[in-house]
Amino acid sequence: MKKVTHLIAILGACLVVLTTPAIAGESEVTWTNPEKYRDIDEGNRVKSKFKEQVFREFGKHFNKLAAKLPEGQKLMVEVTDLDLAGDVRVGGINEVRIVKSIYFPRMEFNYQVLDSTGSEVQKGSVNLKDMNFMNGTNLRYGNKSFAYERRMLDEWFNKTFTTTLAKN
C-alpha cells in the first residue's frame, strides 16, 4: 500500500509538471549586410543555401537562449558581423573549411531585451571572439553544426544575464 501511494504521488507530480504552461522568452534576429561578414562561407556548397542554414541555426539558438529569460521578455538581436571558426581554403578542385586555432570564431551584434509592454530592459553592443575555442570541451554540443559558435554565445548569454537568470 505504501508503494502504491508513493507511486501515485510521483505520477501526480509528473502530471503537474507536464501540464504547467511554460511561457518562454522569444527572440528576433536581424542579419545586417551579411554580404560584408568576414566569413560565412562553407566552401563547395551553394553559398545562398549555406547562409540560409547559418541564419536558421543561429536563429534557433538565440530562441533557445531567450527561453531562459523571464516570462514575457523578448531578445532582439542585430548581427553585424560573423566569422565562423576555421577558414575556407582551396584543396585541389575543392574548397574545404580548415579548423585551426588561428581561425577562431567571432561575432558582432547589438542586442536589446524588451519586456511584455515593449519597454527596454537591457541593451548592449557585443564583440565576441573565442581565441581559446579549441581548448574547451564541446561535448555538450555533440555533432551539432556551429558548436564553437554556440558555446561562445552560451558563455556570453550566461555571463550577461547572470542576475536575470538567478531571479527565475
pLDDT in tens, 64-100: 999 999 999 999 999 999 999 988 876 667 777 778 8
The radius of gyration of the chain from alpha carbons, rounded to an integer in Å, stands at 20
Amino acid at 167: K
pLDDT band at 139 (very low <50, low <70, confident <90, very high): low
For the chain, the first-to-last Cα distance in angstroms comes to: 38
Q: What residues contact residue 51 under an 8 Å CB cut-off, 6+ apart?
A: 34, 40
Total-model pTM: 0.77
Please return the burial class of 37, using the count of CB atoms within 10 Å of its CB with bins 0-12, 13-18 and 19+. buried
Q: Cβ contacts of residue 72 below 8 Å, gap of 6+?
A: 23, 25, 115, 116
